[in-house]
Amino acid sequence: LAKTTQPISMDSYEGQEVNITCSHNNIATNDYITWYQQFPSQGPRFIIQGYKTKVTNEVASLFIPADRKSSTLSLPRVSLSDTAVYYCLVGPLSGGYNKLIFGAGTRLAVHP
Amino acid sequence: DSGVTQTPKHLITATGQRVTLRCSPRSGDLSVYWYQQSLDQGLQFLIQYYNGEERAKGNILERFSAQQFPDLHSELNLSSLELGDSALYFCASSAFRPGRNSGNTIYFGEGSWLTVV
């Protein structure tokens, strides 16, 4: 799996847009980028996945530049309930993607 | 609800004892993963099974073992328990199939809280 680097923590306020960037300089051609969200004492939950350019769903947007060496998870208008740890993972969809290694993630704290 | 079921939700046991954690994957998923998360620690990958066979092993202690049964449920056995084994143990499953270009999204259960006293 490509090694990823994320900020350890971030702070924001309700109603703001939050952008969390993940660096993955050695991403391989067949690697996808996946983000998970984990609330305290709960299992991580899939948020979004992408390969290139931009992906948007009802929860977040994922921006991936042309060189794919980084990606940015964008959370629009965060609320207190978005306080969680966010993990960025990079790997192929199948074959060789045997170990799902979670890094330390980014601990997002949303304040009133 | 991820569709992954874990039991028990909470367990308190004494040092030196042995416990078994059980996991039922999402319907149709053949791949099961086990993770350990200690207080304020990251998720530590322990082991993965695919269709009954061990596929990958992470930082799993020799005192720990796992298996996946023909009905695809999995069990994680923890023996000679120590205080440091107190953690939240997650099971996850995915639609992973070798050679197929899909299925790397994994779905986690709610975890089993183990407290060793």
State which H helix or E strand residue A73 sits in.
Answer: strand A70-75
Q: Judge whether A104 is closer than 8 Å to chain B, CB to CB.
A: yes
pLDDT value at A1 more than 70: no
CB contact under 8 Å between B108 and A99, yes or no, is no
pLDDT at A95 over 70: no
Closest-CA residue to B23 (of B8, B5, B11, B9): B5
Question: Across the interface, do B103 and A94 touch by the CB < 8 Å criterion?
Answer: yes
Closest CA in chain B for residue A85: B42
Per-residue pLDDT averaged across A1-21, rounded?
A: 92
pLDDT at residue A96, rounded to an integer:
46
What pLDDT shows up at residue A94?
Answer: 66
Nearest CA distance, B11 vs chain A (angstrom): 15
Contact by Cβ (8 Å): A31, A82: no
Question: How distant is the Cα of B65 from the closest Cα of chain A, in angstroms?
Answer: 17
CB pairs under 8 A between A and B: 67
Which residues in chain A touch residue B46, judged by CB atoms under 8 angstroms apart? none
- B98 and A95 within 8 Å at the Cβ level: the answer is yes
pLDDT at A72: 97
**pLDDT tens across the length of chain B (117 residues):** 889 999 999 999 999 999 999 999 999 999 999 999 998 778 899 999 999 999 888 889 999 999 999 999 999 999 999 999 999 999 999 988 777 776 678 899 999 999 999
Q: Which residues on neighbouring strands pair with residue A108, listed in sequence order?
A: A10, A84
pLDDT reading at A46 higher than 80? yes
- CA Rg value for chain B: 14
**Pairing, β B10-13 against β B112-116:** parallel
Minimum Cα–Cα distance from B96: chain A residue: A94
Residue A8: name the closest of A83, A104, A78 by CA. Answer: A104
pLDDT band at A101 (very low <50, low <70, confident <90, very high): confident
Spell out the SS3 assignment of B3-43. Answer: CCEEECCEEEECCCCCEEEEEECCCCCCEEEEEEECCCCCC
For residue A3, what are its two tokens? 């090694």
Q: What is the pLDDT of residue A98?
A: 46
Write down the pLDDT at residue A22.
95
User: Under an 8 A CB cutoff, do A100 and B92 touch?
Assistant: yes
CB B33 within 8 A of CB B48: yes
Token pair for A53: 């350019």
Q: Report the percent of chain B where pLDDT is more than 70.
A: 97
Task: Render B39-92 in DSSP notation, one character per residue.
Answer: TT--PEEEEEEETTEEEEE-S--TTEEEEE-TTS-EEEEE-S--GGG-EEEEEE
Which among A87, A97, A104 is the nearest to B104, CB-wise?
A97
pLDDT at A23 exceeding the cut of 90: yes
pLDDT recorded at residue A10: 97
| The pLDDT value given to residue B76 | 98
- Tell me how far apart the alpha carbons of residues B36 and A103 are, in angstroms, rounded to a whole number: 13
